[in-house]
Amino acid sequence: LKKVTILGVPFININRKDFVALLKKRIETEQKTFVITANPEIVMKAKEDSHYMDIIHQATYVTADGIGVVKAAQLLNEPLPERVAGFDTMMDLLEIANQERFRLYLLGASQSVLERVMARLVAEYHNVEIMGAHNGFFDWEDDSIAREIRELEPDLVLVALGVPKQEQWIARHYDSFKKGIFMGLGGSFDILAG
């Protein structure tokens, strides 16, 4: 897959439909995957923080989350096809998870938001198996959430701790996981909770 680098951040050159199809395939073939949907805020953060930039380079895929990123690519004469936003990608993945009976783990947001998200998933995505969930306010040194995910082996792990915590959490534990799509989703649970 061709990449377009903007301020040191390597974006994959793909539209959302093809990206979601790619993730589906990687779930089916059990290829572990770290996804960052990077908006201009993330690009600027990476530019200023070399640790964060290192984490960005550990991701399997970085997508262009924001019209600003798409515009910048255009100016560099290396156009990206469209915006591939975290929330939209998550909604597409939930559709596919429902069709394919994928197994899900949710990490992030407040307990009440998380419970509303789970209620909505149970009501609207009958075939998605929610293996487990944890709110986003936990002791950073406590590895029990990562251990639980290791044991449950979900197909899809949605991590909504905000930037940069979500990427830091995934990078910290990524090597210990065998399979799964790990994706940072910012405030997406709050939106999904309604």
Residues that bind ligand UDP (CB under 6 A): 108-110, 136-137, 160-163, 165, 186-187, 189-190
Nearest approach in angstroms of CB 112 to ligand UDP is 10
Output the smallest distance, CB 83 to ligand UDP, in A: 15
Going by DSSP bridges, is the β-strand pair 9-12/3-6 parallel, antiparallel, or unpaired?
antiparallel
CB of 99 to ligand UDP, least distance (A): 27
Report d(CA 148, CA 145) in Å as an integer: 5
Which residue's C-beta sits nearest to ligand UDP? 136
Neighbours of 92 (CB within 10 A): 18
- Please say whether the dihedral angle defined by the alpha carbons of residues 6, 7, 8 and 9, taken in this order, is positive or negative: negative
Nearer to ligand UDP among residue 46 and residue 160 (C-beta):
160
Query: Is the Cβ of residue 97 or residue 109 nearer to ligand UDP in the bound state?
Result: 109
Kindly tell me which of 82 and 190 has the beta carbon lying closer to ligand UDP: 190
The 33-38 sheet, strands edge to edge = 61-64, 33-38, 181-184, 156-160, 103-108, 129-134
| Closest distance of CB 152 from ligand UDP, Å | 19
